[in-house]
Structure 1
Amino acid sequence: MSAILNQKDTMLYRRFGKTEKKLSAITLGGMRFVHGWDEPRDVIPNDTFRQCLSTIKMAFDAGINHIETAWGYGKSENVYGTVLNEELSIPRNSYHLMTKGNALTASEMYDKVEKQLRALQTDYFDFYGWHGINNDELLQQSCKTGGSVEALLKLKEEGIIKHVGFSTHGPLHTITKAIETDLFDFVNLHYYYFDQRNLPAVEAAQQKDMGVFIISPNDKGGQLFKAPQKVRNATAPLTPIQWNARFCLQNEAIHTLSFGITEPEHFEEMRGIFPLQNNWQAENRAIQQKLDAFIHDDLFAHYDGYNMINDPSGINIPQVLRLRKLWKCYDMEDFAKYRYKIFQQKDHWFPGVYAFDSHIAKIDTSKIPTEIPLQEMLRETHKKLYVPEFKLANK
């Protein structure tokens, strides 16, 4: 069955895999409301409330019918619950709601879901994702018999959760293992023009008829809202955000993209994505050819280092090389610095240590192709992107 169900001038609707729900191709993401990360999570400042209220109104007017949030997004669930139910009294069956959370035991999972139901002022979730299956250990722990995924599936049997999925920032092999469990109805993952490594996972999900949700294409996809002039020139007459969205959505295995949009101009730019033709138009192909050509601006940009995952150095070599390519080939230095800063936070969301000389010395050189000066590439990248004394405020 074709994923395209309905096309309007300003919105596209696609079947979200086996869930059979018809979702807008743009999802309203709820991660970045003003003051959203301030404690306590259930106290909503007036400007947070007003921003959420205006955003929801604009989103519904633009044809968006899917809202996404998570326990880990601070005040997001509480402000959505207040605006949707107390302020606007929106009929619950008129939109689709996704939230996410994680726990390593069934009892903790039940407790968290109960708190989220109260925060969002609803008696069911259309979609609930186990938030952050980012490595094999978390996959094993969450999916074990009697574990937290099993708890979510029991809540599905009770109708409290309609569809269970997972979100991931993990490596490709972990994502495909999770898909192959057959436990999940949908997956939230990273896939953009500037990070295409997860295409095999998208294709694996399509084979399982799973819904495919793309995480943060405008921010984690390259901070496209402030893309360098080199990229803007290449994507013209489209903006980088518009072109990247078309690049993703030309693949019918992809059903919806999460946009953290809050201002009227954001919605106007979003409307420029549509209508999306069923075929990859000549204009879009020409833009891709321009962007693809920039790879030749660096002699070693073709090497992604994926064979060196979990290297004894502790350096996340594939991700460092990706950031190097974006800096070298696309002038995306600011984005590369923004992401490189997150290394050494010692968690599973963006694991790895900085490419200090002491770490480079521990690299397993037997895996490096003879023509690749990997150590020099890592040193060069670290020198360019490293910003000392950074503390991560939120994910």
Structure 2
Amino acid sequence: MDYSNLSLFRPQMEYRRFGKTNKHLSVITLGGMRFKHAHQLPRHEVPHDTLNQASQTVQMALEQGINLIETAYGYTKSETIFGRVLNQELKVKRDRYFLMTKGNPKTAEATRQLVEEQLKTLQTDYFDFYAWHGINTPELLEQACAPGGPVETLLQLKEEGVIGHVGFSTHAPLHVILKAIETDLFDFVNLHYYYFFQRNEPAIALAQQKDMGVFIISPNDKGGRLFSPPPKLQQLTAPLSPLQWNARFCLSNPGVHTLSFGLNEPEHFDPLNGIFPAPSPLSADDLRIKRLLDEQVAEVPYADFNGYAMENDPSGLNIPEILRFRKLWKCYDMKAFGEYRYNMFQEKDHWFPGQFPTEENLQQIDLSRCPEGIPIAKLIRETHEGLYRPK
């Protein structure tokens, strides 16, 4: 199929200005992480069935009016697949889509080497958007933004025309994200924000103040595995699906510009029809659903305690996230999501830090930051017993 004359502005899709980049992006992005694992072959070898599936996905995305494709070096085969599909399988003209990729090289030299490799892999001579991938800790922020370091090199590549706009992606605590935005080095930020995780709303407000583009990471998977919701959650968001309602919730914030959807099956495109027109602010019907969801929290003891005052606890426990998984389990029957995420805690891992509770580290909790009357150790034990699955 020839895409040389494909119109990007289909009536069912909506577009928003991506901050100071002045690029008008579709509010749904084709995210590439689902193409991360493609059999146990070398990085640049892709099976034919995977290429066929990816070609169909890209074709459908373009037909739906999606104009941003997002991937990363860390997504293993994803860059290879998009490079092949866009340039060899479908032969889509380069000016018909925007391309975003990411990487986290640690030095100036490594940055240039990695970007050169990614250009070859994606079969392009420029990136519209490049994000330093994973500013997740104060130490990584300092390393990435050091004079003569990787972000400075990315900005030099911007001056050379190799990169259109430089941003960062993050899984960091809020205070780190705010500090990164305040450097004024970046044109956009990729972060987490959903109905079931609203902690980063102040970061979106600051980014909006600085006219930065805001890209929402994984609203359907990390946002609650909303492609496979429990019956209770489906009932609460009816007549919309939880996935549709969450997308509308995110887009009701005018500081949010695009949501990454991991689309790789034809049926993944079906929910798009229930998202538009995206309300800003929420419509009366959307607010009715929000009230129903909000009301569930009052039904469960201690579910309204978010534990944010107990971030970076000396126990090594990720208390806010543990409490969030308990809340979603108890209030919305989202136990499968809780099991999925809870068991990803990894000691000393900056992507999703947190230890599992033991009697020893439970004794190390800083109770001075916990309101009186909150049985924090009991809540953590309850969550662990309900969600932990030995590997």
Instruction: Report SS of the residue matched to 2:298.
Output: helix
Structure 2 counterpart of 1:42, one-letter code: H
- Counterpart contact for 1:31–1:69, Cα < 8 Å: yes
- What is the aligned counterpart of 1:47 among 46, 49, 56? 49
**1:3 aligns to what?**
none
Query: Where does residue 261 of structure 1 map in the other structure?
Result: 263
Cα drift, residue 105 of structure 1? 0.9
Does 1:209 pair with 2:211? yes
CA distance 1:380–1:269, change in 2 (3 Å): same
Q: Which residue of 1 aligns with 2:69?
A: 67
Distance in 2 (CA, whole Å) between partners of 1:134 and 1:159 is 28
Q: CA deviation at 1:281?
A: 1.1
Match status 1:87 vs 2:89: yes
Kept in 2, the 8 Å contact 1:34–1:48? The answer is no
Distance, in Å, in 2 between the alignment partners of 1:327 and 1:74 is 32
User: CA-to-partner distance for each residue in 1:132-165, whole Å, 9 max, x for gaps?
Assistant: 0001110011101011111101100101000000
Q: Which moved more, 1:119-128 or 1:354-363?
A: 354-363
- Deviations, residues 243-295 of structure 1 (Å, cap 9, x unaligned): 00000001111000000011222112112211224442111110101101111
Deviations along 1:178-198, one digit per CA (max 9) or x if unpaired, are 000000000000000000000
- 1: CA distance between counterparts of 2:40 and 2:356? 29
Whole-angstrom distance in 1 between the partners of 2:234 and 2:170: 29
1:237 has 2:239 as partner:
yes
Counterpart-to-counterpart distance in 2, 1:144 and 1:379:
41
Give the CA deviation at 1:356.
2.0
Residues 179 and 155 of structure 1, relative CA distance in 2, 3 Å threshold: same
Alpha-carbon distance between aligned partners in 2 of 1:158 and 1:345, rounded to the nearest angstrom:
40
Distance 1:168 1:226 in 2: 25
Deviates more, 1:342-351 or 1:137-146: 342-351
CA offset digits 1:44-65 (Å, max 9, x no partner) = 1111101110000000000100
CA deviation profile, 1:223-247 (whole Å, cap 9, x unmatched): 0011111110011111111000000
Question: Structure 2 matches for 1:175-190, cutoff 5 A?
Answer: 175-190=177-192
1:308 CA displacement:
1.4
Q: Percent identity?
A: 60
Residues 150 and 38 (structure 1 numbering): CA distance in 2 closer, same or farther, change over 3 Å?
farther
CA contact (8 A) 1:218 1:225 kept: yes
Distance 1:39 1:353 in 2: 33
Give me the CA root mean square deviation.
1.4
- For residue 59 of structure 1, give the secondary structure of its aligned residue in structure 2: helix
Tell me the secondary structure at the aligned position of residue 165 of structure 1. Answer: strand
- How far residue 364 of structure 1 moved from its aligned partner, in angstroms, is 1.3
- Residue pairs, 1:67-146, within 5 angstroms: 67-146=69-148
Structure 1 CA distance, aligned partners of 2:209 and 2:268? Answer: 34
1:162 to 161, 164, 180: 164
- TM-score (ref. length: structure 2): 0.96
Unaligned runs of 5+ in 2: 1-7
Counterpart amino acid of 1:367?
R
Aligned-partner Cα distance in 2 for 1:62–1:338: 31
Q: Report matched runs for 1:276-355 at 5 Å.
A: 276-355=278-357
Alpha-carbon offset, residue 330 of structure 1: 1.0
User: Structure 1 CA distance, aligned partners of 2:188 and 2:360?
Assistant: 41
The question of whether the paired residues in 2 share the 8 Å contact of 1:7 and 1:275 is answered with no
Matched positions, count: 384
Q: Indicate the larger mover: 365-374 or 119-128.
A: 365-374
C-alpha distance in structure 1 between counterparts of 2:41 and 2:370, whole Å = 46
Post-superposition Cα deviations, 1:162-221, rounded to whole Å, max 9, x if no partner, equal 000000011000000000000000000000000000000000100000000000000000
State the AA in 1 paired with 2:121. A
Inter-partner Cα distance in structure 1 for 2:353 and 2:364:
17
Q: Give the corresponding residue for 1:373.
A: 375
Q: TM-score, normalised by structure 1?
A: 0.95
- Once residues 290 and 10 of structure 1 are traced to their aligned partners in structure 2, the CA distance between those partners, rounded to angstroms, is 28
Provide the C-alpha distance between the structure 1 equivalents of 2:275 and 2:118, rounded to a whole number of angstroms: 33
CA distance in 2, matches of 1:154, 1:34: 29
3-state DSSP of counterpart to 2:69:
strand
* Higher deviation after alignment, 263-272 or 96-105: 263-272
Instruction: Give structure 1 regions of 4+ aligned residues with deviation exceeding 6 angstroms.
Output: none
What is the CA–CA distance in structure 1 between the aligned matches of 2:194 and 2:360, rounded to whole Å? 33
- Aligned residue number for residue 3 of structure 2: none
Letter in 2 for 1:69: T
Q: Post-superposition shift, 1:37?
A: 6.6
* 2:242 aligned partner, one-letter code: P
- Distance in 2, Cα, partners of 1:55 & 1:41: 21
